[in-house]
Amino acid sequence: MENKLIISKPSPELDNSIRDFKKDMYKFYDEFASMTTPMKDSNGNKIRDVRPDGYEYIKAAYMENMMHKHFPGWSFEEASKMEINPIWITAKVHLKIIDWGLYSRGIPIEFCVRTFYGSDSARVQYRNCPCVNRDNLKEANGTMKPKGKPWYNCNVCQGKPLPYTPENIIDLGNQAGSAVTKALKRSIQKATGIGNDVYKKRLDVEELDFGEEVITDTITTE
């Protein structure tokens, strides 16, 4: 018989079932939201690291491994075409997970797939003029060229950054991949709460009242 959704009539038993289900679902996802992300894995590889701007982040491999472990069957797809301009590449993805909590309640698996949107960007990288990496060069005022800066007397760049043109782009594919990875991580964190402690989105709730309003029409199966 084909699976389909029907509306179940309100009853005390149904109200209790909904209340228990809400508690179970909250407990399941709260475990992720409340966990502490380890600094390293069992092999000593970093799970958490710090970007040059001082912000902490989680390695994508850890988040993906957590998905394999707790949400087997997960996948993601492009939500819309990648946006590329001279400065940024923006990726938009849809994460799809099978909510096994719903499935364990008898919901047909095709109705247990939940979708979460994620979007993030990576900066397009451009090559520097070779003079940037040279030391012991004097500027016009007699001071030494600052390390990592172009040189005023360079025949190639005349002391200015190279133009943002296609021929000066460094491996656009890597930056596109970085944007997709960041968008995926954002959707995983949003969907599951994994990494809440690192991304400062943990919500400390000491007590919730599950006796609040209970919907009267709910989804059940024949």
Q: How confident is the model over 149-173, as pLDDT tens digits?
A: 777 777 777 777 788 888 888 888 9
Which domains, ranges and CATH numbers included, belong to the chain? 5-127+162-221 (3.30.390), 128-161 (no CATH)
Query: pLDDT under 50 in the chain at which residues?
Result: 1, 202-222
pLDDT at 4: 57
Between the alpha carbon of residue 164 and those of residues 14, 129, 133, the distances in Å are: 62, 12, 19
pLDDT at 115: 94
pLDDT at 63: 94
pLDDT at 9: 66
pLDDT at 182: 93
pLDDT at 220: 34
Q: Which residues of 139-158 are buried (b: 16+ CB within 10 A; e: fewer)?
A: eeeeeebeeeebbbebeebe
Q: How far apart (Å, rounded) are the C-alpha atoms in residues 150 and 143?
A: 14
Q: How far apart (Å, rounded) are the C-alpha atoms in residues 97 and 84?
A: 28
Residue 5 in contact with residue 221, Cβ under 8 Å? yes
